[in-house]
Chains A and B, each alone.
Chain A
Amino acid sequence: MSYEWDWDAVRDSLPLLWHGFLTTLLATVLGTAVAAVLGLLVAVAGRVPTRLVTVPVRAVTEFVRSTPLLVQLVGAYAVFNTVDPLTIGVAVLGIHYASYLSEVYRAGIDAVPKGQWEACRALSMSPRRTWQAVILPQAVRKVLPALGNYGISMFKETPFLAVITVQEMVAKAREYGADHFTYAETFTLAGLFFLAASYPTSLLMRKLEKRLGH
């Protein structure tokens, strides 16, 4: 049985998908921002010299990063049922990826030479100033390419938000496909959208990685 490819459906669904694509992009950018900030906080909290802080922080990040994003999303949506779905989506994506990124930051912080810490002590800098002026600027620079790569990963996982009724691209593709029975066209188109956005970005990240001397 041969299938008749419906170019009209491709043309008709394009504006709809584009609209959804913008939502996907928005969720990714906000989610990455949340993950970048939260991940940094978690990494710094992991260096606090008391186990009262480090042990619970590590346990929570380990739990978050070992459990499925989809279940976290659906669970958060069901529990906080009065909050707007996009907000929940961004928060859960942000928290989930923060658990990965905290490890990346941690590695970045560990890579700052010991002499830098000692020099700060010798200059009797406050801990706050040590982090702000010396350690973080060096650590974050090393972390940037990895942050970008996780952003791309997150981008490809934002379709999960469709499950909690966020109108992103795949939700639109599914809706249009169901109405017109053109799943083949709309899902293929959605896949190509992802490829067209994520592949150039990952090439860019690679360039950045090279420039920052990895």
Chain B
Amino acid sequence: MADFYSYFFDHMSAVWSGLLVTVEATVLGSVVALALSFVFGFAAGSRLPLARGVSRVVVEFLRGTSLYVQLFWLYYAFPLLAGYELSPLFCGVVALGMNYGAYGSEVVRGALNAVPKAQWEAAVALNMTPLQRMRRVILPQAWVQMIPSFTNLLIQLLKCTPLLWLISAADLTTVVQQMRDRTGATTWAYLTLLVIYFVLAYALTLLMNALERHAKSRLGLRTDRRSLLRRRGAGPAREPETAGGPS
């Protein structure tokens, strides 16, 4: 134990660089995922049948084919087909972004549907343009609903970043694995790694709680200060598999 921790603290710069890669993949991956969530989510609620159909097919395809396969496909198969290679981090960001974007689109769609019909009608009655309607009436309300589900997806995304280790990006898992190989302290190395991920996940939860509080306060809803420290919601970690299947 002492061996491992003296090695660990002697090589903090390696830990920081691994942590940086993991955080980078998480942040960039979730930015891509968020953007795709809105694109596919809006398309799924569109009046155009073509937009709905395309969104449906893409979302079901991305959710159905397994993140693991998608990542490996991008890293190993894409270079063969396209003739040029992608960097491991880029592959990770694209694969994580697309996969979680597909799950996120269901969150966006559900939240838009959950805004009471009367709100849409009132906005139309006030002669708002579609853009104004979305920006000033619908989105602020839907956004509050989306945050808890997005929090769960974000943590899921973070938990998938160790996949980068498999495609040889020097992420946190890679770095700690190397330390384990040097020191032979298997149990302590993996426990430390798990604890770091746990802390990251909790930090993200706190951040999202603060965001939720801010979003609620914009709607005039007050939240208890203590609720900022609460753990993630008790709901399922993932949205139902076919939230938008044929009905």
A-to-B contact residues, CB < 8 Å: 1, 3, 62-63, 65-72, 74-75, 78-79, 100, 103-104, 106-107, 145-146, 149-150, 152-153, 156-157, 159-160, 163, 170, 174, 177, 181, 183-184, 187-188, 190-192, 194-195, 198-199, 202-203, 205-206, 209
Contact = CB atoms under 8 A, between A and B. Distances in A.
Contacts of A66: 155, 159, 197-198, 201-202, 232
Please report whether the interface of chain A is mostly helix, strand, loop or mixed according to DSSP. helix
Given A71-B173, A184-B77, A184-B81, A170 B241 contact: no
Given A66-B198, A146-B236, A3 B68 contact: no
B67 interface: yes
Interface of B: 60-61, 64-70, 72-73, 76-78, 80-83, 155, 158-163, 165-166, 173, 177, 180, 186-187, 190-191, 193-194, 197-198, 201-202, 231-232, 234-238, 240-242, 245-246
B198 A187 contact: no
A160 B68 contact: yes
A106 B69 contact: no
A190 B67 CA distance: 12
Contacts of A187: 69, 72-73, 76-77
Interface of chain B: mostly helix, strand, loop or mixed: helix
Contact of A78 (B166, B190, B234, B238): B190
Contacts of A146: 236, 240
Contact of A170 (B72, B158, B180): B72
